[in-house]
Structure 1
Amino acid sequence: MENRNSMNVSSTSPTMQSDWRESFLRTTLMLACAFGLVALISSYFSSELIYFVIYCVVYIIVVFITVLPVTYHVRAMTLIGLLIGLSISGLTETGLVGEARIFMLTAIAMASLLFSWRTGWYITIFAMVLYTIFGWLILGGLLTISNTTIDPGNLVLWITRALVLLLVAVLVVNAIRLTQTEFTKSEERSQSLLSDLQKERALQEDRIQERTELLDKRTNQLRAVADVGKSITSYRNLSELLQQTTRLINENFGYYHVGIFLLDERRQFAVLTAANSDGGKRMLERGHQLKIGETGIVGYVAESLKARIALDVGADAVFFNNPDLPATRSEMALPLVVGGQILGVLDVQSTEPNAFSEEDIATLQILAEQLAVAIQNANLFSDTEKALEASRLAYGEISREAWIKILRNRPNIGYIATTPGISEAKSDTVEPSIAKAIDTGDLILGNDGLTISVPIKIRGQSIGAIRLKKSDISEAWTQEETNLAVTLSDQLSSALESARLYQDSQKRAARESLVSDISARLSAVTQMDLIIRETVQELGETLGNASVTFQLLDPSNGHNPTEGRENGRGKAGA
């Protein structure tokens, strides 16, 4: 672009001069056509026929070069040649008295303007030679001017007028030279300034282009960060989250290798947990890990909590010695930090040299922070699931123990629904199908196809079963009817568990009420003997058949009671 601008600037000056000269020549020829016609009519009455014919020929030639599509040089040289020819014609007609000098000065000026001031000097020298030859011919009598009324003059007059012509020609050519020189310098300065402006413009355009490309890159990166961040928030399983993250970063950013390191429990090693490349997967199989603070930029970042870029040149070139990732030329490691605590390191590698910059750190650090939050959420979700599962197991164990106790106290609780009504089962034996349903925990279909036994399960423990039997004339159980029976069994299980919980809460409330009542009665008594006696009496009445003994021992006398009291079913000692 800069070379092109320089060529344009260097060619501007000749082009402008050529355009000006062509415009000036065209205007001059048009004026010559207009005023030449007036001069031609005037010469018809004042000049001889031969000169009038010459003037007519000259005018026709001027009209032709004005109208016809001829080149600039042909027009300019023809015009100058015609002016010189008119000057020679004037010399032969009137000598130095008439228009000969005017035509010659005009030819000199035109040559300087239309070509260069050097051409004007050439025409001036030619004019001096021409006037010397004509002066010698006319004064020597070898040539006679056609207008006999004009005195040809003498040598002094010819020399004087020739010198005047030379002086005027010199002034005209020098003035044109100075004007052209100053114009050229001014134009060169203008073109130099224009060239500088064009160079600055090209530089600004390059900078704008670079800035635009950089902004486009940042925009695409931020869009990719947003897409990846939005995608990884939907994963709750840590392993799946990390593996999908490496895949998404590879697809959206095009990095050669993406690896995620997590710190071990002792926080001594950064362990590779997920990777997308083939080399990374081989490293995963080997259990690849790096010593924190000692090995590679991953170890550096894990210790310093600061992102770092390594290139394949300079001091960092030592890091690129992994045989599993031989194509790596640039590497960037980003800390995965949440609440000031580092969880791991995001490691990305590229096959291009100088692939990463400080701006890339600022952009990808956003993704690293989102990934760190997602990892923390996944860990919290896993911990919550484990705690919930532990609570379920503990509650299930409590529930099973409660039902075992209930069934131990009342081993055969059963009811039979028949057409007349509902009655309690009196037999101590259990129907074989019901027993099988309780033992297996599965729905049992009788051999006749009309009987099904559905287990009643609470927290995976079978506490009973329902036996449903159709009449002999009925059809066998359909899948829909069986599903309905299973649903009813589940509802019954929930209702029984709710009833047990309600009974437990009632018993707990009764115990708390009892403790509260005893505490209130004891708080009203101030003597120690009465407090002990009241305590023993209340506990004895509450516990029924239980024996209550209360003693106070003196440690200095061993375990021998110093005093004892007994009240009804209770005994107190001190």
Structure 2
Amino acid sequence: MNWMSRSPLLENAPVNLEVLNHRFAISLAGSGLAIATLGVFPTLIVALETGIYIEFLVTVVTTILNLLLLVVLLRTYSRAAIIAILAIATISTLFPDNPTVYLSASLALLGAAAFASSPLYIALNYIILIRFSIEAIASAYANPNIILDGQLELYRLTFPIYTLALVSIISRYFILNAQRAAVSAQRSANLLQAGAEIGQASANISDLRTLLPEIVNLLVKRFELYYARILLLDLATGQLRLVASSGDTGSQIAARAEQPIPVGSAGAVGQTALRGRLSVVRADDSASLREGWQLHTQAQAALPLLDGQQVVGVLDAQSRFENAFDAIELQALQIAANQIASAIRNARLITEQVRIAEENRRLFSSAQENLQEIERLNRQLTGTVWERYLNRAEEGTQLSGITLEGKQMLPTAEWTPSLQKAGLEREPVRIQREGEAVIAVPLLLRGEVIGAVEVEVQESISAQEALELTQAVGQQLALSLENARLYEETGYAAAQQQRINAIAARMQQTNSVDELLRIALTELSSALGAEAGAVRLTRVRLDELKTETGRNGS
């Protein structure tokens, strides 16, 4: 049995209470040393008078032991040293000729009130009070006249007993209340600190795989839990999956691959997820409720993680102590659970925003690529149609270029160096040629250069003004040229369709195969300006015709 265990009220006391106990133990040891020292000189005088040194030697040994115990307690907090102090004080009380017997008794009772468990406290009180009761009874028997002399002498015999009992009870009461107040204050500080640390972790960490294990370890540390875990609800399967537990990393959780817990299962976790309310299970409850208990678990609290009215997960807290999770602690844990749920919601929102941003960037990049491809195809198509148009223009009488010389307009297709430079660089060019300022700008149509224009600028006109005017005219010229080309292309296509329709009309008027062949070849040659042509009809399949042609070498 642990005779120096804390009182039941202090089983969950934080470690910081040890500091207060340590200081009180040092004071107790110092008091024991002082009391023992006070007894040295009286016992020495008695020993010198009587020649009996036993009491003196006992007092000296007691003093030395108290000194050693004080040294030990100054170095470290030792429960064994406290037990020794109580034992020395109690034994000193049992010596009838001890001059400091009342002081030793008071010291023993104070020490028992502060440090002893309830059985040891009661036992020491019985020992000391019975010792003084026996002494009072012995005095009464030895001197019967004490009782006959009146109540004054009787009170003198019993007063130390009442005093010691009263001191013991009052000390125990005030010490327990002081410890309770210290525990409550420290617990409140721990709960506030836990809430602050959870909030700080939630603000600094957005990745749930890092955030949730951090929060679990904070809860275990601040609430002095034996074990804690967080399970999140998988909406697709309706099951709770472990995402963080005390002492585990994300890789360890994945390696353990714990079975998911169905919502509504018999355990506290499943019931909490189903009902959205906290559940507390203790060791004497049904075994079916003790789901997920660790080896030394004595109490479990399952708290819902709520996003509004929706359960998103469960916080499972387990303790070694059966009387754990009182109302204050449950309220603090629920506040922590609400903070965890808020952190989960924020982290998921951030993840969703990141996903949307990535999707938008992907779509924007794809749109840019598509736009670039469209622009490339437009340039390619524009270049192709204008190349075909200019080739046809060269075959006919249409102009592909014109030059102003003095007051004459001369047709020419040659490109000056400034025109070539503007077309290649796709930007306006300003040069000096034979002392004159020349500005050349490309004619851009849907990003493709279809030509260029240059003018000589007089000195009276600023270069910037001339450049802006030439660019504006060049843009309008490119659009007008495209419109004119389209108009001509439309007329050309209409004329070609008209000719096709005329040829089809002639062929429909003829029923002779020979005449149809002549009409087709004649009209094609006339339309295309061809000087030779041929039409053939075949009696065999094309693959046989190909083989036969190969044998004939034609």
Q: Which bracket does the TM-score occupy, shorter chain normalised? A: 0.3 to 0.5
Larger Rg over CA atoms = 1
> RCO (CA 8 Å, sep 6+): is it higher in 1 or 2?
2
TM-score (norm 1): 0.38
TM-score (norm 2): 0.39
